[in-house]
Amino acid sequence: MTQPLRLGIAGLGTVGAAVVGMVARRAEALEASGRSVVVTAVSARDKSRDRGLDLSGFTWFDDPVALAQSDDIDVFVELVGGAEGPAKAAVEAAIASGKHVVTANKALLARHGAALAKAAEERGVALAYEASVAGGIPVIKAIREGLAGNAVARVYGILNGTCNYILSRMEAEGLTFEACLKDAQALGYAEADPTFDVEGFDTAHKLAILTSLAFGVEIDADGVSVEGISAIQPLDLAMADELGYRIKLLGVAQATEAGIEQRVHPTMVAKSSAIAQVMGVTNAVTVDADAVGELTLIGPGAGGKATASAVVADIADVAAGVRRPTFGRPVAALSPPRRVEMQRHEGGYYIRLTVHDRTGVAAGVATRMAEAGISIESIVQRRSAKAASSDPRGQSGQPVPLVLITYAATEGTVREALAAIDRDGLLAEAPQLIRIERE
């Protein structure tokens, strides 16, 4: 009889504990897929912590590297997290020892994915990472396997539940970013230090992985242009609603003639689009491809059970003997990335200018836009009651908002026009600029 596939799990937080439970509950189904699966060893920082698990049947390792090198495991499951330190050292040790690796660590893959994939190829072991992007949504398998016959033009999505929760609450209740962040922290959706999430870095790591899969290029995390959501104000969400949009933090990778754009930023999306309907902590990924057109996957992007689902799916593949190139093709076949700087991005823009309430300001703004060759689709100078309630500053003699929606223009051109408007002394505060993602 085939020997059981033996797992060593490093990291027994919410996800790790859920994986242990799921492997036990789904033992019969996992065995039916090709081979029985058992957890034999574990590692975590604190052995005494109550995790609601009986760990007495598992060998305990204080050091995840020692676990990764143990002869008593066949698969090293890395749920420690972090791009460096114990996680990286343990994954490298596991591969060097001929162990298959299953990980949920997007930061590790974004920074070291190519080197780890090359090492895994050389050792003939799997490096599986479905749980690293969009939690329980099987987007890695969908792109790498389900869409292998397609040429992808664009992949974009809501990849961070914390940001989507905050923006959803701000829109629905007219609350400030700060108030919604505080609630997100109280509910456990945001960390005590939320910078990694709300400033877009978490999304950027996930996007870099999707870019490699979708376009067959080497991972280029440093090539992602990143902006977060902390500058979004209730007025922006109110104006977006009036103009037929919602604001989402999107990660977007798009093929252009000059190369691959990778960008993370708050984005106006049409309320009629599928991705605009995704609210709360839910994630969504849309792939634009030549054969299937637009495909959108929606589901839980985080949480113990959802992420464990993706981890166990990878374990099932290993048990069944499934081996695929980590990023859809051998590392040597991945193309070097051709970065497209954000200044070259072309699209529509929402621009909110807080201007001095005096004669000639709107004309001055329009003149500078025209000089830059930027066409204006719409301009809102009078706020509706809904927008006004989100910003009480519009009193006589006080700075007031002037909102512009542009037709397609380049980022560089828009920035130059805004700089000229500022030099003219027309602005009372820094402008708000949000890109529009067309369907």
Residues identified as active-site: 206
Do β-strands 409-410 and 346-355 pair in parallel, antiparallel, or remain unpaired? antiparallel
How far is the C-alpha of 129 from the C-alpha of 142, rounded, in Å? Answer: 13
Could you tell me the CA-to-CA distances from 206 to 109, 187, 359 in Å, in that order?
9, 23, 47
Give the angle 260-151-270 at the CA atoms, nearest 5°: 70
22: number of Cβ within 10 Å? 18
A 10 A CB-CB count for 41 gives: 20
Taking CA 435 as the corner, what is the angle to CA 429 and CA 438, rounded to the nearest 5 degrees?
Answer: 155
What the block records as the tokens of 339 is 């970065």
Q: What is the DSSP letter of 217?
A: B
| Helical (H) or strand (E) element with 267 | strand 259-270
Helix or strand holding residue 200 (H, E)? none
H helix or E strand, kind and range, residue 29: helix 27-32
> Can you tell me the distance from the alpha carbon of 106 to that of 119, in angstroms, rounded to the nearest whole number?
18
Going across the sheet that includes 100-103, the strands are: 59-61, 37-43, 5-10, 75-78, 100-103, 127-128
122, two tokens: 């050389």
Contact predicate 208/111, CB 8 Å: no
Instruction: Calculate Rg over the CA atoms of the chain.
Output: 24
Buried b (16+ CB within 10 A) or exposed e, 63-96: ebbebbbbeebbbbbbbbbebeebbbebbbbbbe
Give, in order, the Cα–Cα distances in Å from 58 to each of 43, 55, 64, 312, 345: 10, 5, 14, 18, 53
User: Tokens 């006004």 correspond to what residue?
Assistant: 388
Unique residue bearing structure tokens 């009078």: 382
